[in-house]
Amino acid sequence: MAEPILQTQSLTVTAGSRTLLRGVSLSIHEKQVFGLIGPSGAGKSTLLKCLNRLLELTPALKVSGVVRFHGESIHGPTVDADALRSRIGILFQQPIVFPKSVFQNVVFGVKHLGVIQKSALPEVAEQALREASLWDEVKDRLHQPALRLSVGQQQRLCLARTLASQPEVILMDEPTSALDPKSTEAIEQLIVRLKKTHTIVLVTHNVRQARQLADQLACICLRDGAGEVISQGEPCDVLCSNCAPEIEAYLAGG
């Protein structure tokens, strides 16, 4: 198998004397959907935010272990965390739109990163919105406040905003848990389409979603108060194996 695009080795996160994540080692391959499932509070979001160093913005958390992106440590002295984050985009649980227009939201990243010319912005916006299947719904109200969109549209807007800066990896933190079934379906279809061009790490606690979308799956459960990877591999192996009592309990509980 080819070299993984993202790889963690004995990744541990502590908050003071408390351990949130312990010894996480994962390999995430290019142009696949890597699913992360597990009960609430097991540290899935924490793990996700380690992958683009967004966790550093939360004070008092300490990360140890290695994360490699294209084989190189993301904590290396020469790595620019901001540049890293523009290559590894993130989508949050709740859509976080800026109180600006739809258009301003889509181009927010690319505009301020200064990677493209100002005259090219409308084109970039259209392409990103098309990729996020939002173009047809918003093309007539690009300059209206984004907060007027429905929550489902806002989440796709956030996705478009991330896509606009052409990241290689998109981290998704339970992107559908705040959405209605129809918007959920729209996002799920998008994920299927996007994995042709992007690597996706998808946190979910929806087992059906994980089974349907993920190419590889890891299950994180609490052991001694800290999140650990209980098993990983093909979705059916992870979800069907009865090797760990935690998974069984988790699946039984839904």
DSSP bridge pairs for 91: 172
Q: What are phi and psi of 32, to 5 degrees?
A: -135, 160
Q: Give dist(CA 22, CA 228) in Å, integer.
A: 6
Q: What are phi and psi of 48, to 5 degrees?
A: -60, -45
Instruction: Please report, as a single letter, which amino acid is at residue 182.
Output: K
Q: Give dist(CA 170, CA 30) in Å, integer.
A: 11
Nearer to other proteins, 8 or 104 (CB): 104
In residues, how long is the chain?
254
Binding mask 180-219 for other proteins (x = CB under 8 A): ----------------------------------------
Q: Give dist(CA 8, CA 181) in Å, integer.
A: 33
| Residue 160 CB, nearest approach to other proteins (Å) | 12
The verdict on 153 binding other proteins (CB under 8 A) reads no
The verdict on 90 binding other proteins (CB under 8 A) reads yes
Nearer to other proteins, 158 or 210 (CB): 158
Token reading at 11: 């990744």
The verdict on 108 binding other proteins (CB under 8 A) reads yes
The verdict on 85 binding other proteins (CB under 8 A) reads yes
> Taking a C-beta distance cutoff of 8 angstroms, is the pair 32, 212 a contact?
no
Total number of residues that touch other proteins (CB under 8 A): 28
8: nearest Cα among 74, 91, 79: 74
Q: Select from 73, 94, 133, 150 the one that contacts other proteins (CB under 8 A).
A: 94
The verdict on 92 binding other proteins (CB under 8 A) reads yes
Q: Select from 20, 24, 50, 54 the one that contacts other proteins (CB under 8 A).
A: 54
Residues that bind other proteins (CB under 8 A): 52, 54, 57, 59-60, 80, 82-87, 89-90, 92, 94, 96, 98-99, 108-109, 112-114, 158, 161-162, 165
